[in-house]
């Protein structure tokens, strides 16, 4: 076999003889079309793959155009600052940090001894005035009876005076008797006038006492209200945060004792103004919260703020001065949950809402 290989090498290298082409090589270059024909499967695969990619892009665009989303969103609520409306020492704080409480639960109890005394004093004033009014009403009744009695005496004196004037003219009575009965008539008139004045005075005094009673009752209501304010209760169901009240401390009117976060929360999403064309209240929303990445919450668009966020900022933009550079504004959109979340949510937590606008 080695001898045959050597003979072939000599024949190839012998002078005057043409070199034969090596086996497996093409004599001439093949055209591009022939190459494509030979690689038809690869070309078909490339075409099909490109079509699939284009179709996927089109389908993705058709799907994505139905939704508007933003990561500039957060949990929002109306936090309440718990402050006393009366000044007193703190005698008890039955709650602790981050405790969940129901509406009406007791949060802080203030010293109520001074306010109990004020209420009792106001109640005593009311009772005293009620007694005075009752006594004055009796005096008024008596004064009315005196007026009636004086009126009857006046009528009798008038009749007597008239009769004796007539008898005097007839000569059957003396002038002295006529003058006596005329004097009695004047006294009856004076008594009647005095009784009427006394009746008016007693009625006016009764009106004054009734006005004082209304004032005393108002003071009693104020004292009772102040007493009730010594117990500070939760306005709604929620959680206690930033608790600063401590037993033994003094609470002044308006002093912040704690912050209260209600359970009723929503999403404030700052969408670009270019995303609001098709957004309407009531549209469904899928809500993702960063604290719970494996869950999606359902909600709906509640309302769109009438103005961009910068319009209500502390220093709103003044575009009428200086050079103007147009910037896409963001508009807050309120998104509410369809049902209360069963997880702990607080204001400021990040969220990503996706609104279906078509």
Give a yes or no: residue 133 inside a domain.
yes
- Look at residues 177, 209, 228 and tell me which one is the last residue of a structural domain: 228
Residue ending a domain, among 260, 277, 308, is 260
Does some domain include residue 57? no
d(Cα 82, Cα 101) in Å, to the nearest integer? Answer: 14
Element (H, E) at 42: helix 40-64
Q: What is the pLDDT of residues 256-278, one digit of tens each?
A: 999 999 999 999 999 999 999 99
- In this structure, the answer to whether residues 292 and 331 fall within a common structural domain is yes
Does residue 282 share a domain with residue 268? yes
Rounded mean pLDDT, 138-142: 80
pLDDT of 52 reads 83
Instruction: Kindly give the residue spans of alpha helices, DSSP state H, lying in 171-230.
Output: 175-228
Same domain, 84 and 74: no
Residue 334 within any structural domain of the chain: yes
Q: Is residue 284 part of a domain?
A: yes
Any idea what the CATH number is for the domain that residue 244 is in?
2.40.50.100
In a shared domain, residues 256 and 151: no
How far is the CA of 38 from the CAs of 28, 32, 41, in angstroms? 16, 10, 8
CA distances from 212 to 125, 129, 145, 169 (A): 9, 7, 26, 59
Q: For 23-33, what is the mean pLDDT?
A: 51
- Whether 24 shows a pLDDT value over 50: the answer reads no
What is the structure's pLDDT at 81?
94
Given a cut of 60, whether residue 1 has pLDDT beyond it is no
Q: Residue 282 region, left (φ>0) first, then alpha (ψ -120 to 50), else beta?
A: left
Tell me, yes or no, whether 194 and 340 share the same domain: no
Residue 23 belongs to some domain of the structure: no
The confidence band for 217, taking pLDDT boundaries of 50, 70 and 90, is: very high
Among residues 243, 260, 277, which one ends one of the domains? 260
Q: Which residue has the tokens 């039955």?
A: 94
* DSSP bridge pairs for 354: 69, 286
Q: Does residue 324 lie within any of the structural domains?
A: yes
**For the chain, first and last CA: distance in Å?**
82
Question: What confidence tier does 64 reach under pLDDT thresholds 50, 70, 90?
Answer: low
Is there a contact between 240 and 106 (Cβ–Cβ < 8 Å)? no
Decide: 77 and 57 in contact? Cβ < 8 Å.
no
120 and 163 part of one domain: yes
What CATH number should be reported for the domain holding residue 169? 1.10.287.620
CATH number at residue 333: 2.40.30.170
How many domains are there within the chain?
A: 3
DSSP letter assigned to residue 20: P
Same domain, 222 and 117: yes
Q: Is residue 145 in a domain?
A: yes
My answer on whether 123 and 224 are in the same domain is yes
DSSP sequence for 248-286: T-EE-TT---EEEEES--EEEEEEEGGG-SS--TT-EEE
Q: What is the mean pLDDT of residues 224-229?
A: 95
Whether residue 279 is found in the same domain as residue 310: yes
Q: What value does the mean pLDDT of the chain take?
A: 83
The domain containing residue 313 runs over which residues? 67-78+264-356
Q: Which secondary-structure segment (H or E) carries 358?
A: none
Measure the CA–CA gap between 48 and 56, rounded to whole angstroms: 12
Q: Quick one: 241 and 223 in the same domain?
A: no
Mean pLDDT lowest for which of 11-15, 51-55, 229-233, 245-249? 11-15
Are residues 162 and 197 located together in one domain of the fold?
yes
Helix (H) or strand (E) holding 108: strand 106-110
Query: How far out from the chain centre does Cα 119 lie?
Result: 32
Domain match, 286 and 223 both: no
């Amino acid at each position: 076999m080695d001898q045959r290989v050597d003979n072939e090498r000599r024949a190839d290298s012998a002078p005057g003889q043409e070199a034969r082409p090596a086996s497996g090589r093409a004599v001439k270059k093949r055209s591009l079309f022939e190459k494509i024909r030979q690689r038809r499967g690869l070309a078909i695969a490339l075409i099909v793959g490109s079509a699939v990619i284009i179709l996927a892009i089109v389908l993705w665009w058709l799907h994505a155009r139905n939704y508007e989303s933003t990561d500039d969103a957060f949990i929002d609520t109306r936090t309440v600052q718990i402050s006393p409306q009366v000044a007193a020492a703190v005698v008890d704080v039955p709650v602790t940090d981050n405790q969940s409480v129901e509406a009406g639960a007791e949060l802080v109890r203030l010293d109520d001894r001074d306010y109990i005394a004020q209420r009792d004093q106001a109640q005593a004033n009311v009772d005293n005035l009620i007694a005075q009014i009752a006594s004055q009403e009796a005096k008024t009744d008596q004064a009315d009876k005196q007026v009636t009695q004086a009126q009857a005496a006046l009528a009798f004196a008038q009749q007597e005076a008239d009769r004796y004037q007539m008898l005097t003219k007839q000569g059957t009575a003396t002038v002295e008797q006529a003058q006596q009965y005329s004097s009695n008539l004047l006294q009856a008139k004076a008594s009647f006038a005095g009784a009427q004045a006394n009746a008016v005075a007693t009625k006016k005094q009764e009106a004054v006492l009734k006005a004082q009673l209304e004032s005393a009752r108002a003071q009693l209501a104020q004292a009772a209200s102040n007493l009730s304010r010594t117990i500070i209760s939760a306005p709604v169901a929620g959680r206690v945060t930033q608790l600063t009240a401590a037993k033994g401390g003094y609470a002044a009117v308006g002093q912040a004792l704690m912050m209260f976060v209600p359970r009723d929360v929503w999403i404030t999403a700052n969408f670009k103004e270019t995303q609001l064309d098709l957004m309407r209240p009531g549209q469904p929303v899928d809500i993702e919260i960063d604290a719970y990445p494996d869950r999606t919450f359902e909600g709906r668009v509640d309302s769109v703020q009438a103005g961009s966020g910068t319009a209500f900022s502390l220093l709103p933009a003044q575009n009428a001065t200086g050079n103007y550079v147009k910037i896409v504004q963001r508009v807050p959109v309120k998104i509410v949950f369809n049902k209360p979340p069963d997880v702990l949510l607080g204001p400021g937590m990040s969220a990503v809402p996706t609104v279906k606008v078509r």
